[in-house]
Chains A and B, each alone.
Chain A
């Protein structure tokens, strides 16, 4: 039984905007699924359709194997945590948490007992008699969670529940929400624009863009095998370095500007590279796939890139080296990536220095490296983790697009 399922769901607003386009996706029992994407990608609309707060234009939504398109929110057996918490300001914490039970007409004693249980789980016992105005941001967030968990619904829906917390509390609550969800084992659909949240919390992550599902996979697979340029650029911080490159006529190497990288066997395979011989592709290199060649290792010249270092950011455990090479870089302005860098605010991003580094590549390099700004440096490339994309469609050449595990 799948607690939650989208079957070819579309949403077209009266003004003609298609917010969600042919979305098919299911959430397994107890699974934590994150819908992630830049603002305006349709993730919140998708969530609101499940809640019954938004009509479905086309397709079917099922909750617990029951089509719910025509049911009102109250008939759907779901609980939702809103981005702004939407606590009832005139009710105490206990009344807020117990409201849904009251609506179910449970006897008073039972309501009280359940409210107290939920409060204990969330550490709100002391606050039960208070009003939301008297609570801190973190406590309000907990009350919003409490309102959801007290009901034991078929599914939880969460709409950016952590986005109003400060950075430190957000990291803390991230772990807490994950823990709580595992413990309750209730299928959860969680919406966020923060790829770090998506990666850390989701059992599976659905990346959306302009209403269309880009890839639906576990975080690791999303990171290692992005289905297209958008996912590649969206997931990961610092973002993957993307360059225009040309495949040689043999299909054995690619040229980035005047430098050459050998393709590993897997990518040199006829099935992958065949039709791109002598053609242009986009190559993606994760920052951690680059290393300081001066630190040793015996990389041949076909596994190296020469570049000029713009800036070095010392993070203690590692360095972020911003460098330039003589090759055309894909910027986030590219329409295949548009929005990929939007509000992806992970912790690393917030520390990043903006404009100077914007057009440069980034390498994540061992902290013992002595690379300094202004130098020419040689970077080792772990070519086995190169990514190649079609320059027009943006699809990964590995052809592993959209293979959700089951």
Chain B
């Protein structure tokens, strides 16, 4: 431990007497307490907004109207699931959730397949101008999203593709694909070529080698690319709000805005309930993928 080595190191030399083991222990305990206290503060600050969302989502319409204070303090006296049932039963939040799931799911799937093929080609094939292609991909990936909204709106309008979730998938691919391709290309570069060469000699075609050997080994990268694509598509507001019109075609982030609106009151509890709901798939996805994204997956392959 670093604290121990510091105490026996330069400190011990500078003092003529050996410091008592007791005072050293106290010193160490104080240091650790301070450290964990700092950690705790950071965690509290980071998690408080999430707590607040969860707390508010469990309040009744009435309690939200009363503002913070009294029985509706930081820890409210009465909790209820009414906002959730209101969202689903009265506000029809299920439809935008399904829309979002379709759009984000398909975007992720297409991103993974196309980016894997493109990333692999860029990593391994002798392509003329691969460097330029890569640079272009990188630039495309960092192109400001809002700058695309206007031109894309015109394109979709002229094609008659407005107010439908399907063209959204193509729009999302415009910015998930460059990032995912670049990421996967870098992942594939790290995989020793020997592995797929062994597969080729073993009788696999390039595509079979890619599917059965390279991709399984690069699975952390594939999952990372997939999560990025999913989150980008799932969280998008800018494109959805620009291209969708009919509430039944809305994606979840768009639908949330309408949930809490009424003439007299903003129902923060309903909004926050919806926020909790759309956070769950992302949280689950990350938790699930985290187990797959383990370092050193190639351990044992070599040497």
Q: Residues of A at under 8 Å CB distance from B?
A: 51-53, 72-74, 78-80, 82-90, 99-100, 103-104, 131-135, 137, 140, 147, 151, 157, 164
Contacts and interface: CB of A to CB of B under 8 A. Distances in A.
Interface residues on B, range: 20 to 34
A207 B84 CA distance: 78
B195 A88 contact: yes
Nearest to A79: B201
B231 interface: no
Contact of B197 (A53, A88, A99, A103): A53
Contacts of A79: 201-202
B297 A89 contact: yes
Most chain-B CB neighbours within 10 Å: which of A88, A104, A131, A132?
Answer: A88
B205 interface: yes
Which 5 pairs across A and B sit closest by C-beta, in order of nearness?
A: A133-B300, A103-B203, A132-B300, A86-B194, A100-B202
Among B202, B208, B212, B298, residue most surrounded by chain A Cβ atoms (within 10 Å): B202
Contacts, number: 92
A85 B302 contact: yes
B14 interface: no
Contacts of B212: 99
A11 B85 CA distance: 72
A269 B109 CA distance: 80
Interface string B158-201: 00000000000000000000000000000000001011011111
Given A51-B201, A74-B205, A86-B302, 7 more contacts: A73-B200, A79-B202, A84-B192, A84-B194, A85-B301, A88-B301, A90-B216
A146 to B, nearest CB: 12
Contact of B300 (A51, A131, A147, A157): A131
B44 to A, nearest CB: 40
B201 A73 contact: yes
A164 B200 contact: no
Interface of B: 192, 194-195, 197-205, 208, 212-213, 216-217, 219, 297-303
Contacts of B219: 90
B183 to A, nearest CB: 20
A80 B2 CA distance: 48
Given A88-B213, A104-B203, A147 B198 contact: yes
Nearest to B213: A88
A87 B199 contact: no
B200 A53 contact: yes
Nearest to A104: B203
Contacts of A72: 200, 205
Given A90-B216, A134-B300, A140-B300, A103 B202 contact: yes
A78 B201 contact: yes
B200 A87 contact: no
A89 B301 contact: yes
A152 to B, nearest CB: 13
A84 B201 contact: no
Contacts of B216: 88, 90
Contacts of A90: 216-217, 219, 297
B208 to A, nearest CB: 7
Contacts of A132: 300-301
Contacts of A164: 303
Contacts of A89: 217, 297-301
A347 to B, nearest CB: 21
Nearest to B216: A90
Nearest to A153: B201
28 contacts: A51-B201, A73-B201, A73-B203, A74-B201, A74-B202, A79-B202, A80-B198, A80-B201, A82-B198, A83-B194, A84-B303, A85-B302, A86-B197, A86-B198, A87-B300, A88-B216, A88-B301, A89-B217, A89-B297, A89-B299, A90-B216, A90-B217, A99-B202, A99-B204, A132-B300, A132-B301, A147-B198, A151-B202
A219 to B, nearest CB: 28
A74 B300 contact: no
Contacts of B192: 84, 86
B147 to A, nearest CB: 40
A53 B201 contact: yes
B197 to A, nearest CB: 5
A104 B203 CA distance: 7
Contacts of B208: 103
Contacts of B217: 88-90
B300 A82 contact: no
Interface core residue of A82, A89, A131 (most chain B CB under 10 Å): A89
A157 B194 CA distance: 14
Nearest to A48: B197
Nearest to A99: B202
A261 B300 CA distance: 57
A137 to B, nearest CB: 7
Nearest to A165: B303
Contacts of A82: 194, 197-198
Nearest to A103: B203
Nearest to B205: A74
Contacts of A134: 300
